[in-house]
Structure 1
């Protein structure tokens, strides 16, 4: 079968490497891809990931039997839904499910409503109220912008001054609301599962290291490196 992989990062490079090993795949395409992905797939040019109708037309023309969506933005924008409407299978969540990734505020409220353990939090639409909150709570404290920020929307503020500056940055960038969380110390790890509403299949663990500089220093990024499995998860 013919498969289209969407994305251009290290994640998609790994997916391309693995997909290319499948005897079930006759032709692997990637959009937009990168030089590393080009070693495993034929790159598609001239189509934006946001151009859903154009993507659907291209998939039909090239006999695509499966689309693997890597980046979060097209998932949140409903690309999987559009592909499903056209009868093209896709690996990735619907827009409704992708809200868990696309909105930190939505996910926090969902956790609170259903009793899912999560860090204590507060949300503010006015910077003045957010300033007062962090001043009262003290530091360290965590400031988060809602929405997709390429892994750069979180500031772990070790002082109140840094927290206030981070709040200002969220609103200056056009954010309508800021999420403020309690600081929780410890190792971060991710456990991945495939779910269909009834069945849960564990898909492995990983640990991502986001700080820009050596020694786990500097601002957060979308990820400087990751490894799997994550030894911190033992059960």
Structure 2
């Protein structure tokens, strides 16, 4: 158990924190990979058009590059687990369609939803900061095994509207948007680099280490550590 000052707001990572990284890698990634060509072939969708331009720029492709080259760039980023914004944008669109069609249901650790409900009922503001796009986040929390969880959350941030998760400036952006002093913010993540970045902006932090999850062996440095949200108490 750890005892922490009661925060005004909690910001949560998703993969490895509320939900298994393996579910994302083994279920959601293949689902999106099989549909990259289809979504990139669509014309007139502003998010797809923006992502197409970002792929060309970030991958150094010819402006007239065909769908096959765009897909190859996406698959290369996916294979190396790079958190590229155009990749996350397109995955979010694909997953949203999958959730809407009933093909997908999001995963949560058994302690995650009860903890989030409890914190929400206590009047603590809840926000998400994930490398997955805002579109993917809303689909994820809107299609949980317990139904729509979105009413519990006040905001969603990703690498496009906040910035990279390992930079302190991203947490400053979120802090300013939420309007809560850094000392009253608490960030939960399984990645020490993200925890370090949040702490550099003055946030409180909690490292989440889930046995068997992708980054368990890396540890969480000198941040307070839990394996379940049930281990968190307020003072």
TM-score (norm. length: structure 1): 0.33
Bigger Rg, which one:
1
Hey, which of these two has a bigger chunk of helix by percent? Answer: 2
Larger strand share, 1 or 2? 1
User: TM-score scaled by structure 2?
Assistant: 0.33
Report 1 or 2 for greater relative contact order, CA contacts < 8 Å, sequence distance ≥ 6. 2
